[in-house]
Amino acid sequence: MLTITRYEEVTQIKMSLFSESHPPLCACAYLVDSLLIDSGPDCTGKELADFLKDKGVKLLVNTHYHHDHIGGNAILQQNYGLEILAHPAAISRISQPPQLYPYQEAIWGHSLPSQAKEIGKLVKTPHFQFEVIHTPGHSDDHICLFERSKGWLFSGDLATVTHPRLARAEENQWETIISLKKIKELRPRVLFTAPEYIITEPSTMLEKTIQYLEETGQRIRALSGKGLSPAEIAKQLFGEDIAAQITEGQFSSENFVNSYLKVD
């Protein structure tokens, strides 16, 4: 199901298998001029393609390779010949999408292969110009798009909640902090997030998130220094982890703790 919301010259396309859904059971794409940012999950790919039929879309940018951002790629490329751009680290993962957990396939469907090219420093449309910003942390291939003249920042999954406690195994919270500081310095006027939130005057939200992540990282390192294991730290700081049970450990507070303890 698609839910369409208009904000200034931006169209938000919220996609979900369910009629009434909120994060984490939905994902959003954004349409600006001839540019589509992300394509959502496979389960809504045909609906998205039908919606875009007369919208004049010429280009698709994936903020990163995760299934709920590339699921519509294949049908859009097949139907409309869209050029797809992404960070270099995402290209092979988009052409050969990783195997999903059973719960993911049940909710989102399975992404089909599509062909992406390496994105440059700028993406131009007839009326706008987007700066491409590498923002690792959530994933190593994550990028944001910034339209400086409008103050629009399309943040993908980088800035989602102010007090996260769950993570995938691949995440690195120290990199996330650096990336959040990078986009905060841009002083965006509006943040368009992949989960569904359109955040006006986002500086306060970004500052709160950065502060929380830094303070949490210090606490985790202190507890680790006392000899506690990641599982023990997670239980002490965050309590029972229902998400880990539901997702077979893919999303967990223990992963979140481990994401602070990685050594480059």
Query: For residues 188 and 153, what is the distance between their CA atoms, to the nearest angstrom?
Result: 6
**Residue 245 domain flag:** no
pLDDT in tens, 249-261: 999 999 999 999 9
In terms of residue numbers, what domain contains 131? 2-217
How many structural domains is the chain composed of? 1
Is position 151 within any domain?
A: yes
pLDDT digits (tens, 9 = 90+) for 79-130: 999 999 999 999 999 999 999 988 889 888 999 999 999 999 999 999 999 9
- 52-86 pLDDT tens trace: 999 999 999 999 999 999 999 999 999 999 999 99
Identify the CATH number of the domain in which residue 90 sits. 3.60.15.10
Residue 23 has pLDDT above 80, yes or no: no
233 in a domain, yes or no? Answer: no
Distance CA 49, CA 34 (A): 14
**Residue at 259 is within a domain:** no
Q: List strands edge to edge, sheet with 198-200.
A: 122-124, 129-134, 143-147, 152-156, 190-193, 198-200
CA distance 223 to 118: 41
Spatial separation of the C-alpha atoms in residues 52 and 95, rounded to whole Å:
22
Specify the pLDDT at position 201.
Answer: 87
Which residues, 6+ apart, have CB-to-CB distance to 225 below 8 Å? none
Q: Model-level pTM?
A: 0.95
* Residue 126 located in a structural domain: yes
Angle 165-137-190 (CA atoms, 0-180°, nearest 5)? 85
